[in-house]
């Protein structure tokens, strides 16, 4: 039967990574992959993680199963990071959390959970969105539709169009929003826009799903949750998918969490049983390592302080480069307005250049970015920023 299989195209970002690896040009620049890199172009293990690993090695006395919800201490920490320690949804026992294999695992569990709650649900995603969102929900048998979000003309948001389209979404459907650091555009809702979105969700009765893959990479750990917390104040039901890949640098350990927020604690108990049944039927139980590391860090005031510091370093480096790109472009005589780069948040920016220019950057300069002109800012450093700016100046001349 395997002979009937048809080849499946790989994710273009993975293809780009492979092409970059094979490129012999010593000046090559990787702006494709969404992974934080330091000034040396390296994705180092955070110091707080190294210390937590040493602690785990010392303290761990069993490798027995951890249960379908995963590490309970981790789950409790992740809820407090997201909502703050005293949010009403936590005090009222309205949140159920399971730790999952990465943010991707959280989204897939959320998708199966939605399917159980309403098999006919449509999941509405931003146009554009992280490409895997569409595949993940479709794989669970859910319909996916897009709503207007990014405006290529103004390099801002199509907020009015977004609100008009979402006003037609019925109760029983799910609307996915990015908590912060929108992937791929870098353009986030401001707080006033979050408030309007929350009012609309309450009025129309659709269920928001907040995807939070970059908490702490935008404005700060608490600042990045402002919209989420307001939403949770207003609407009775909500889904949250978190990831520790970026903010703890735990990419390959696959650690994230899915949280279901229900109208009351009785429904939360039922939701827990459904959530755990979903987990049981996909992978039974999540891997423990990443969750235990995060728990160790957040259980220790000292390691938490170190994590805050390391997270701020990553965030500040990216934000400094947003300004530096603009300065370097000016230095190279680029006349176009790129000031929008400093209005975006997180790892990514859309440069807004065309396919031919993206291709020329790759062919003539070995500078790799995604076909939409999305660049991962953390791929830039002091050794390649001038080269990048010069190449951009050449390419923009046409």
The residues annotated with a catalytic role in the active site are 130, 211, 246
11: left (phi > 0), else alpha (psi -120 to 50), else beta?
Answer: beta
Residues of this chain, 181-200, that bind ligand PMP according to CB under 6 A: 183
Closest CB to ligand PMP: residue number: 102
Using the rule CB under 6 A, is 211 a contact of ligand PMP? yes
Residues of this chain, 130-149, that bind ligand PMP according to CB under 6 A: 130
Residue 285 burial by CB count (10 A; 0-12/13-18/19+): exposed, middle or buried?
Answer: middle
Binds ligand PMP by CB under 6 A, chosen from 243, 247, 262, 372:
243
Using the rule CB under 6 A, is 346 a contact of ligand PMP? no
Residue 100 burial by CB count (10 A; 0-12/13-18/19+): exposed, middle or buried?
Answer: buried
Using the rule CB under 6 A, is 218 a contact of ligand PMP? no
Using the rule CB under 6 A, is 349 a contact of ligand PMP? no
Closest distance between ligand PMP and the C-beta of residue 294, in Å? 12
CB 150 within 8 A of CB 130: no
Q: Which long-range contacts (CB under 8 A, 24 or more apart) does 86-92 make?
A: 87/229, 87/232, 87/233, 88/232, 88/233, 89/232, 89/261, 92/264, 92/265
Omega of the bond leading into 128 within 30 degrees of 0 (cis):
yes
Between 251 and 283, CB nearer to ligand PMP = 251
Phi, psi for residue 170 in degrees, rounded to 5: -80, 160
Between 70 and 102, CB nearer to ligand PMP = 102
Distance CA 380, CA 325 (A): 9
Closest distance between ligand PMP and the C-beta of residue 373, in Å? 17
Among the residue ranges 102-110, 224-232, 319-327, 381-389, the one whose residues contact ligand PMP (CB under 6 A): 102-110
Distance CA 118, CA 37 (A): 41
Closest distance between ligand PMP and the C-beta of residue 245, in Å? 4
Which 3 state secondary structure label does DSSP give 93? coil
Among the residue ranges 17-25, 46-54, 98-106, 324-332, the one whose residues contact ligand PMP (CB under 6 A): 98-106
Using the rule CB under 6 A, is 208 a contact of ligand PMP? no
- Binding residues for ligand PMP, per CB under 6 A? 34, 102-104, 130, 178, 183, 211, 213, 243, 245, 251, 256
């Amino acid at each position: 039967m395997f002979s009937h299989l048809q080849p499946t195209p790989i994710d273009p970002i993975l293809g780009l990574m492979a092409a970059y690896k094979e490129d012999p040009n010593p000046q090559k620049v990787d702006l494709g992959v969404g992974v934080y890199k330091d000034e040396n172009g390296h994705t180092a293990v955070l110091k707080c993680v190294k210390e937590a690993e040493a602690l785990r090695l010392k303290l761990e006395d069993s490798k027995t199963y951890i249960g379908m919800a995963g590490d309970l201490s981790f789950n409790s920490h992740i809820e407090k990071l997201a909502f703050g320690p005293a949010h009403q949804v936590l005090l009222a026992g309205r949140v159920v959390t399971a730790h999952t294999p990465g943010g991707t695992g959280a989204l897939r569990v959320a998708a199966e959970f939605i399917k159980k709650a309403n098999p006919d649900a449509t999941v509405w995603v931003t146009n554009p969105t992280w490409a895997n969102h569409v595949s993940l929900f479709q794989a669970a048998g859910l319909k996916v539709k897009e709503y207007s979000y990014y405006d290529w003309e103004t390099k801002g948001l199509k907020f009015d169009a977004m609100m008009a389209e979402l006003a037609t979404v019925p109760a029983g459907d799910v609307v996915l929003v990015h908590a912060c650091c929108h992937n791929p555009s870098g353009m986030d809702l401001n707080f006033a826009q979050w408030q309007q979105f929350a009012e609309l969700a309450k009025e129309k009765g659709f269920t928001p799903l907040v995807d939070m893959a970059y908490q702490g990479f935008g404005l700060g750990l608490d600042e990045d949750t402002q919209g989420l917390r307001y939403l949770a104040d207003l609407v009775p039901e909500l889904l949250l998918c978190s990831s520790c890949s970026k903010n703890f640098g735990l990419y390959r350990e696959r650690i994230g969490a899915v949280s279901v927020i229900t109208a009351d604690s009785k429904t939360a108990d039922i939701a827990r049983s459904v959530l755990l049944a979903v987990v049981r039927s996909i992978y039974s139980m999540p891997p423990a390592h990443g969750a235990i590391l995060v728990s160790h860090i957040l259980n220790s005031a000292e390691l938490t302080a170190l994590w805050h510091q390391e997270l701020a370093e990553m965030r500040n480096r990216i934000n400094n480069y947003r300004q530096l790109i603009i300065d370097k472009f000016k230095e190279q005589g680029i006349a176009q307005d790129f000031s929008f780069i400093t209005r975006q948040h997180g790892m990514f920016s859309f440069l807004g250049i065309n396919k031919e220019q993206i291709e020329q950057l790759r062919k003539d300069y070995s500078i790799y970015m995604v076909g939409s002109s999305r660049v991962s800012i953390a791929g830039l450093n002091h050794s390649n920023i001038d080269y990048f700016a010069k190449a951009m100046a050449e390419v923009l001349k046409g």
